[in-house]
Structure 1
Amino acid sequence: MQPAHHTLTVSLPPAVTDTALAAALTTAAELWWPGDRRRPRLWTESVPAPAASDAAARRRAAEARRPLAPGHRLRAVLLRYADEGHRADVVLTADASALDARSLRLVARVLRGDLAPAAVTPLAGPLPLDLRLDGETRRLASAFALAVGRYEGASAVRVAVPVPARDRPPYALGALDGHAVFTADLSPGRTVAELLATEPAAPAEGDDPPLLELMASDGPAVLPTGPGALPVPSHQVERIRQQLLTSPPNTCLSRLNPLSEAESAEQLVLGAGPKDPKALRIDEAFAAQVASRPDAPALTAGPTTLSYAELDRRAEVLADGLCAHGVRPGDLVGLCLPRSTDLVAAMLAVLKADAVHVPLDPEHPADRRERTARDAGVRLTVTDPAALTGHPPRPTAPRRKPGSPAYVIHTSGSTGRPKGVLVPHLNVTALVDAVRDDFGLSPDDTWTCFHSAAFDFSVWEIWGALLTGGRLVVVDHWTTRSPEDFHALLVRERVSVLSQTPSAFTQLAAADRGAQDAVGVRLVVLGGEPLDARPLLDWFDLHPEDRCRLVNMYGITETTVHVTATTVTRRQALAGSRSVGRPLPGWSVRVLDAHGRPVPPGAPGEIVVGGAGVALGYLNRPGLTAERFVPDPLDPAGRRLYRSGDLGRLLPDGTLEHLGRVDDQVKVRGFRIELGEIRHVLLEDPAVSAAAVTVTGGGGGDAAAVRIDAYVVPAPGAGEDPGPVRERAARLLPAHMVPATVTVLPALPLTANGKLDPAGLPPPGARRAPVTAPAPAPAAAAHGTAPGAVLASIWRDVLGVEAVGPDDDFWDLGGNSLYAIRIGTLARERGLPEVPLRQLYLTPTLGALSEALSLET
């Protein structure tokens, strides 16, 4: 429990000479430890600086940190300074297993001449400990634990507290005193009285000693001193100690604040962006590009390329059609269109008509799209742009201001109802303006639109290209599912700016390693989910940092795609950095506690975003808007803050680290998911009386292995076949939210408090760990194995199932888009014919896929 050694620095009277001090030490050592050949001697050193100087303080601290030589119980070093005749110090260092802190103070008294050596009696220890704590020590231990708990986000903190030996003689010498373990319970709801009532315990045999410790003194215990002695600032521990002394006993611990008002103000300034962007509408900013570059290529989809002028004219025609169909300023218009030039033109047309577009992904189930359109209250849904052509020009009218809504994107909602996020024009133009110079965005760039229009990453891709004069290449559905095809598109179209989720980029990087032609990408923007930087090392080998810049961006739909940015370097990748960088110009980030106060630098808390990107709120959800979009007391313009629900820490240099979620919201392959929405959909099924949803897998950073599992209790009279339950969920949820498994239980396991006990849920099925990366294997023909059997083996390896039959469905076995890509890669490596990703989607059973590929079974 005790430290390996401890030290005491003793100031000597000016009259004490080196000779007298050495003699006193020798006399005492011969008396206390007769026959010991390793008795301590006095070492003398000169410090070429005044005693009060910083250099002298550093020398004393260095001596205090220096360990003892093995087998020695005590070291004494006399330090004499340049201002001779004034102060001299003796730094005493003792082996904690031989001399405790009280013994070290006795040695100091003897050397100062205040106590005769014969008055001190060595004793063998240890003696029984007195575990009773005085009030001051108890408050200090509580304050120390609470301060450290705030920085570490810990709900329990252990502190080693010095306690005296019981019935110790006043001048006994040895390792007689000891340490007790003070375990502070800092769980939510705990009060000052409960913390101060904590009783220390004797250290358990074999238990690791606490990393935190208080030091013994002549009175109550004290904090350790010296450079690096404390993991938190000592003045913040003292501030909490004072609050423990003065706060009512029933005060919640969460209300105790380690920061002063000045420190809180510094933390708020630390996360502020330096720029307030100019307010523009999206269509106004696009019109400026049309005016300056009318004939430049703007949009490519397949073989079709439109210039800026052609795209503008196409959008004008569609805007006229929208007005002819009754769309008025402020109306919401659903866009359910495949990836094409028409999709982008229709987005622009809605904005030109001064309306608000609501993307409805045609790949989502029809029931899901209908629910979303109903929730938004759209005026009409565009599914065929041809219906909007051939109408007379709309009358000229002034458009609403840049602060008016531009689009609504729906995110997962815990009540089963997706939340529509209402984002104004000026947020998007501010985002592009914030990074234009830093990222070097110019008309020379070619971008890809890889992501669904219903995923806000597409907002960045589309307008990042078109508002900076670049060319946007729309990637079709099947190409997004094939890393090899996508890589070929990047080469063919000479793409220079690429945006990807880390999950998708991992697959693309693997295809890049095996490709003959190199991509010419100069900027890769990663976002949408947490980044594990270590797998990027292979990318850096082929694409050095001076040729291709990798930027990791953290953001939220409610704060307009991106909030912070950091350039990822090889050094950061080697270190596995969790940094998401500093806020963009015009944005701000704060890390606050449960009471809305800044937490100490480096301590975890909720990430709260302010500034230019904060959305208008949730569509038709005033209660939820008021809960998550809160007033910013520091913004003279009256803008609001968004409480993200993400955990993070703001470091002293102003960079942000992302630590996960406060609630049960999760990210699955870049998509933000509320497990409560999935559970709500399951409970709407008349055949289900109770349900639970969990997320498993993903260890080692393998995003493909993340799996949603559902557990249901049948309603009275309902059958126990989970198939219909999952089929109904698949009609209402997008593919990334459909549970991989549905397990039927007679009842859900509950805790003593009647809550779900996740630990009591059985495994969802007999699965072994899926392979995390394709492993080379000999060609099937070399072993004489039927190709159909090889394909079945690949399914077993990738999906982690024990057996697979011809009627087993890839998706029902837990398949997802990343696993589909992995199966195609393994098939090639094991000598099978090409497995087109489209074919796996069209023939998802093993038998049908084998037949389509003409494989012998």
Structure 2
Amino acid sequence: MYRTSRPADAWPSTSASGHCHARRTRLPGGGDAVLMARILEAASLAWWGEPLRLWTERVPAPAGSATANRRLDAELFRPVAAGGAGLRAVLLGYADGAADLVLVAHRARLDAASLRMVADVLTERAPYERFRPEEPGRVVVDDEAVKRWREADYSGVVEWAAGDSGAGDRTGVVTVALGGSAPEDGSADVVAKVAVAAGLVLGRYEGRPRPVVAGLTGVPGRPAGALGVFEAGVLLALDLSGASTVAELVAESARIIGGDGGWCDARRYADLCAEAGGRVLVGLLAGELDGPAGDRVPCQTAPFPLTLVPGRAEDGGLLLDVRHRLADVDEESARRFARHLARAYERLTDAGDDLVPGDVELLDEPERRHVIGLGRPARPLSPRGERTDRRIEDVFAARVADRPEAVALVGEHHSLTYAELDERATRGAAALRAAGVRPGERVGVCLERSPDLVVTMLAVLKAGAAYVPMDPAYPADRLTFTARDAALRVVVADGKFPRGDGLTVVTPERLAAHGDDGPSGEVGGSGDAAYVIYTSGSTGRPKGVVVPHRNVVALLSATAGDTPGDTPGGTPGGTETENDFGLGPGDTWANFHSSAFDFSVWEIWGALLTGARLVVVPYWISRSPEEFRDLLARERVTVLNQTPSAFAQLMEADRGRAERLAVRLVIFGGEPLDVRPLPGWFDRYPDCRLVNMYGITETTVHVTAQTVTRREALAGSRSVGRALPGWHVYVLDERGRPAPCGVPGEIYVGGAGVATGYLGLPELTEQRFVPDPFAGGRMYRSGDGGRLRPDGLLEHLGRLDTQVKVRGFRIELDEVRNVLLDDPSVTSAAVVLRDGETGDAALTRLAAYVTPQGADPAAVRRRAAKVLPEHMLPATITALPALPLTVNGKLDVRSLPEPAPAPAAAGEDLTGTLTALWESLLGVPVGGDDNFFELGGNSLLAIRLVYAMRERGLPAPPMRELYLHPTVNGLARVLGHE
């Protein structure tokens, strides 16, 4: 804990009134105005060198009446300028003979003790001789420190509160009683405990282990009876790590506020400001414990977003005024802060010597129950015409019975009706059983996006097995690992799957050719695994998430709508149907995403279990926004699922087209959504509903839903909405306690979507799938940061660990790092996310750093490419002599240099325009045989390259050609520009 100080004339200048404080003294007999005027004139001549006037006014109403109180408030809150005396004295006489003496002073001229002294002398509570008009010497402080104090920012965005940007300098006041057993004469102890309690609450609210609280207190050795400015600012940095008990924190705070801690130099002050994140949100006016709280206005405008003023009630009890700038902190948030501060204060007062900060609970039991309830959905999960504890293929069979001749699946220039899809999947299931597949085992599926992929998934389920999706674009080593880890005996692939001992590869053609389509018999229950999807793992290997049938059925029950019909429904922007998407047979869905990405689970089964039509988007079309846009228009797609990165490209491709899309519902997922670019879409498609959904593979694709309207887009909302029916969310602190509203913590998810666990990893399953102490059952510890707003909406704040999202893919940086460390030429490695200065999703990429400096980055990258899929491969690898470390021995990410450009390969002369385009887009030198993707290119930058080529009059190649010929020379040959 440290402190510093500053003179009062360096007080933060939020407004003129923010510098002023006032006192009111009730005079039952009207007071002696003549005597007061003489005293004031004598004192002012001695102190200010010019006479001060006592203003008098008759108020035609009795004291305490509404009229009298309005006039009194007008005087108390009318500011006074710093020039001249900086003091105004007004005597208000009332019709019943009582009077109020109002004194308003500027803090640059009189501190609180001086103002109190003037009031006591004018009302004859103290003799005139108490004044000491000789000006004392000023406190000597470091000039550089004073400069820093004056330039410091005593404000900042309050993330856990809702401010009103139109409030100006208006200040609200919340008053709370301070309980506990504090001694009546322990003013210094009260102030110290208020400071520690405030720091504890602020630390929890901000997620800071060392919150910084400011205070305004008296200068040590203040001359008795002197008028003037003898206040100083202090900064308290409270260590909440548990290294100090709360008793020790209170004692240290009392020492610093009392002035025994020594002045702090400018460097220490700068360090404390840095700890506060460059802002100080909470300040304490420490010298205001004299007299009843109603007799003073300690600040006309709060100098800090939250300004704390301890005082005493008429009965001598302790009170705390929390004065909050309405522009920064709304009243509800201020009340919550005050309530938690009072609870913390009481705990500090009654605690033993061994209490540590983490032991202080901010929530009482009623508020705890309230916060837990905020994470519940608006309505329970209820069946929509069928039970939710069914298997996927059983629900699909019901759709087949409803509309057997309706088109179920479209792709590769042909379609299948529900009856035809059912018949092909049944034959495929028989073929799998003939290949030895037994109910309950796992079957690999490694196919391109096509109708065969969907048929195969359904066939696996009909055979009573669980499918394990794998992307054919993944490296052979990763496919081999997945097959081995999942103990696969059978994989359905196109014949190119890497062979392994005891592994049978079955082609889709073999499944389709099987003649036995008879019944399969009993295949299992709804609690059996439907699929196992492998996600990035921090241990250096992917981990399989086991999801049962009933979770998928529950997801569709939670979102489909009460009465799905042939006509697509949905209420754009309607909060009463927030989780009701009106899904039904009248919809057409697009299967845009890889089967290895769990967004595809929602796309495929969301369509087929609601009787809709599913359009399978080929890989190459999914990489070309213009071709994808044409497909959406041609197929009249109504339900579209997109990562925000992909949707940004689609909006660009759609801009200026005459034909409008039929899309009525867009679901965002996979990565955080920046809502600010969306008003353009609203302008073009005012009836299209946009929904931002937060989801996790381990909790079955989606958890919450937030309809995004123009209002949310303009406000830059980060809300991901409320929990789906059947799901529930908590935001808990590091001890598993519910965090207060608006306070960050870790997101936990419980309810119908929680997966079975990680395949073959019981210890990790036990760590992440933990007992739910609030609702029973299990909940998933997400590792994501979030906060629950008072209205029950969840805000997602990003990962708490090393996991990141790149174009919708979830990546553990440690997995990439461990792959790099497997290279024998690498001794240490670091992987970070680089998103460019603009935060452009297309520029987001992984950057790796390895040692020693003699390591060959190109060779390291080639080896990593044999293990990692394209989206996990670092765009750049930079060799360093050593990784920079902090003083604590941790990786110093801020000291890592900019990624080194890939070396340009020697190549033939090419069209200058084409080479210049690549260099401009990638920001590195480009040689004729350099690989676009090895230079840092990705799918989004590839799209931009095609657009840029078209703008410059070059032939724009199909996206497939760029992937097949990713060098300047190769692409030039395809375009005929050798």
TM-score by length of 2: 0.78
User: Which residue of structure 2 lines up, in the alignment, with residue 392 of structure 1?
Assistant: 516
User: Which residue of structure 1 lines up, in the alignment, with residue 111 of structure 2?
Assistant: 100
Q: How many Å apart are 1:32 and its aligned residue?
A: 2.7
User: Which residue of structure 1 lines up, in the alignment, with residue 380 of structure 2?
Assistant: 275
Q: How many Å apart are 1:821 and its aligned residue?
A: 0.4
Distance of 1:280 and 1:78 partners within structure 2: 81
Distance of 1:421 and 1:58 partners within structure 2: 66
1:656-695 aligned at under 5 Å gives the runs 656-695=794-833
Which of 691, 696, 713 is matched with 1:551 structurally? 691
Which of 386, 400, 423 is matched with 2:547 structurally? 423
Q: How many Å apart are 1:649 and its aligned residue?
A: 1.1
Which of 218, 237, 241 is matched with 2:345 structurally? 241
Distance of 1:596 and 1:57 partners within structure 2: 49
Distance of 1:119 and 1:594 partners within structure 2: 55
Contact persistence 1:665–1:674 (CA under 8 A)? yes
Distance of 1:301 and 1:86 partners within structure 2: 92
Cα distance, 1:754–1:32 mapped onto 2, change above 3 Å: same
User: Which residue of structure 1 lines up, in the alignment, with residue 533 of structure 2?
Assistant: 409
Distance of 2:863 and 2:741 partners within structure 1: 48
Letter of the 2:19 partner, please give it: H
Letter of the 2:780 partner, please give it: Y
Q: How many Å apart are 1:514 and its aligned residue?
A: 3.5
User: Which residue of structure 1 lines up, in the alignment, with residue 601 of structure 2?
Assistant: 459
Q: How many Å apart are 1:345 and its aligned residue?
A: 1.4
Q: How many Å apart are 1:189 and its aligned residue?
A: 6.1
Contact persistence 2:23–2:116 (CA under 8 A)? no
Distance of 1:49 and 1:281 partners within structure 2: 77
Distance of 2:82 and 2:852 partners within structure 1: 69
Q: How many Å apart are 1:247 and its aligned residue?
A: 4.9
User: Which residue of structure 1 lines up, in the alignment, with residue 948 of structure 2?
Assistant: 826
Query: Is 1:612 matched with 2:747?
Result: no
Larger deviation, residues 593-602 vs 39-48: 39-48
Contact persistence 1:593–1:605 (CA under 8 A)? yes
Larger deviation, residues 284-293 vs 729-738: 284-293
Distance of 1:464 and 1:613 partners within structure 2: 15
Distance of 1:413 and 1:150 partners within structure 2: 30
User: Which residue of structure 2 lines up, in the alignment, with residue 364 of structure 1?
Assistant: 474
1:323-338 aligned at under 5 Å gives the runs 323-338=433-448
Deviations 1:806-851 (CA, angstroms, capped at 9, x unpaired): 1211111101111100100111111111122111111111111112
Query: Is 1:119 matched with 2:119?
Result: no
Letter of the 2:838 partner, please give it: G
Distance of 1:128 and 1:318 partners within structure 2: 89
Cα distance, 1:739–1:119 mapped onto 2, change above 3 Å: same
User: Which residue of structure 2 lines up, in the alignment, with residue 845 of structure 1?
Assistant: 967
Distance of 1:60 and 1:266 partners within structure 2: 40
Contact persistence 2:731–2:739 (CA under 8 A)? yes
Which of 59, 73, 76 is matched with 2:86 structurally? 73
Which of 277, 282, 285 is matched with 1:212 structurally? 282
Which of 16, 21, 24 is matched with 2:29 structurally? 16
Equivalent residue pairs, number: 824
Cα distance, 1:91–1:299 mapped onto 2, change above 3 Å: farther
Query: Is 1:579 matched with 2:675?
Result: no
Distance of 2:453 and 2:915 partners within structure 1: 39
Cα distance, 1:251–1:302 mapped onto 2, change above 3 Å: farther
Q: How many Å apart are 1:167 and its aligned residue?
A: 3.1
User: Which residue of structure 1 lines up, in the alignment, with residue 891 of structure 2?
Assistant: 756
Distance of 2:99 and 2:423 partners within structure 1: 87
3-state SS of paired residue (2:641): strand
Deviations 1:715-745 (CA, angstroms, capped at 9, x unpaired): 9xxx732222211211111100011122233
Query: Is 1:302 matched with 2:425?
Result: no
Contact persistence 1:9–1:89 (CA under 8 A)? no
Which of 218, 225, 242 is matched with 1:171 structurally? 225
3-state SS of paired residue (1:507): helix
Which of 373, 379, 393 is matched with 2:489 structurally? 379
Deviations 1:382-419 (CA, angstroms, capped at 9, x unpaired): 11122224243455433433222211111100111111
1:245-264 aligned at under 5 Å gives the runs 245=349, 247=351, 252-264=356-368
Contact persistence 1:47–1:79 (CA under 8 A)? no
Deviations 1:250-272 (CA, angstroms, capped at 9, x unpaired): 65533332222222221111111
Cα distance, 1:327–1:68 mapped onto 2, change above 3 Å: farther
Q: How many Å apart are 1:359 and its aligned residue?
A: 0.3
Contact persistence 1:31–1:117 (CA under 8 A)? no
Cα distance, 1:86–1:27 mapped onto 2, change above 3 Å: closer
Cα distance, 1:532–1:174 mapped onto 2, change above 3 Å: same
Deviations 1:103-160 (CA, angstroms, capped at 9, x unpaired): 2322443455523455334454674399999444333212211211211223433222
Cα distance, 1:455–1:604 mapped onto 2, change above 3 Å: same
Contact persistence 1:129–1:178 (CA under 8 A)? no
1:578-597 aligned at under 5 Å gives the runs 578-597=718-737
3-state SS of paired residue (1:732): coil
Distance of 1:604 and 1:711 partners within structure 2: 32
Which of 586, 592, 615 is matched with 1:450 structurally? 592
Distance of 1:449 and 1:204 partners within structure 2: 63
Cα distance, 1:841–1:585 mapped onto 2, change above 3 Å: same
Q: How many Å apart are 1:78 and its aligned residue?
A: 7.3
Which of 837, 854, 857 is matched with 1:722 structurally? 857
Query: Is 1:479 matched with 2:621?
Result: yes
Distance of 2:366 and 2:662 partners within structure 1: 49
Q: How many Å apart are 1:242 and its aligned residue?
A: 3.6
Q: How many Å apart are 1:182 and its aligned residue?
A: 1.6
TM-score by length of 1: 0.89
User: Which residue of structure 2 lines up, in the alignment, with residue 774 of structure 1?
Assistant: none
Larger deviation, residues 234-243 vs 280-289: 234-243
3-state SS of paired residue (1:695): strand
User: Which residue of structure 2 lines up, in the alignment, with residue 697 of structure 1?
Assistant: 835
User: Which residue of structure 2 lines up, in the alignment, with residue 854 of structure 1?
Assistant: 976
Contact persistence 2:24–2:102 (CA under 8 A)? yes
Distance of 2:470 and 2:352 partners within structure 1: 54
User: Which residue of structure 1 lines up, in the alignment, with residue 676 of structure 2?
Assistant: 534
Q: How many Å apart are 1:535 and its aligned residue?
A: 1.6
Distance of 2:108 and 2:732 partners within structure 1: 43
Deviations 1:40-78 (CA, angstroms, capped at 9, x unpaired): 635676899977x9x999998887665445647235677
Cα distance, 1:799–1:255 mapped onto 2, change above 3 Å: farther
Contact persistence 1:143–1:244 (CA under 8 A)? yes
Query: Is 1:502 matched with 2:644?
Result: yes
Q: How many Å apart are 1:525 and its aligned residue?
A: 0.8
User: Which residue of structure 2 lines up, in the alignment, with residue 783 of structure 1?
Assistant: none
Contact persistence 1:127–1:166 (CA under 8 A)? no
User: Which residue of structure 2 lines up, in the alignment, with residue 291 of structure 1?
Assistant: 401
Contact persistence 2:218–2:232 (CA under 8 A)? yes
Deviations 1:413-452 (CA, angstroms, capped at 9, x unpaired): 0111111111111211111121222212121111101000
Letter of the 2:916 partner, please give it: S
3-state SS of paired residue (2:677): helix
1:22-37 aligned at under 5 Å gives the runs 23=34, 26-34=37-45, 36=50
Contact persistence 2:214–2:233 (CA under 8 A)? yes
Letter of the 1:813 partner, please give it: L
Letter of the 1:539 partner, please give it: W
Q: How many Å apart are 1:760 and its aligned residue?
A: 4.2
Q: How many Å apart are 1:852 and its aligned residue?
A: 1.4
Q: How many Å apart are 1:670 and its aligned residue?
A: 0.8
Cα distance, 1:32–1:624 mapped onto 2, change above 3 Å: same
Distance of 1:372 and 1:745 partners within structure 2: 33
Q: How many Å apart are 1:320 and its aligned residue?
A: 1.3
User: Which residue of structure 2 lines up, in the alignment, with residue 776 of structure 1?
Assistant: none
Unaligned regions of 5+ residues in structure 1, if any?
A: 769-785
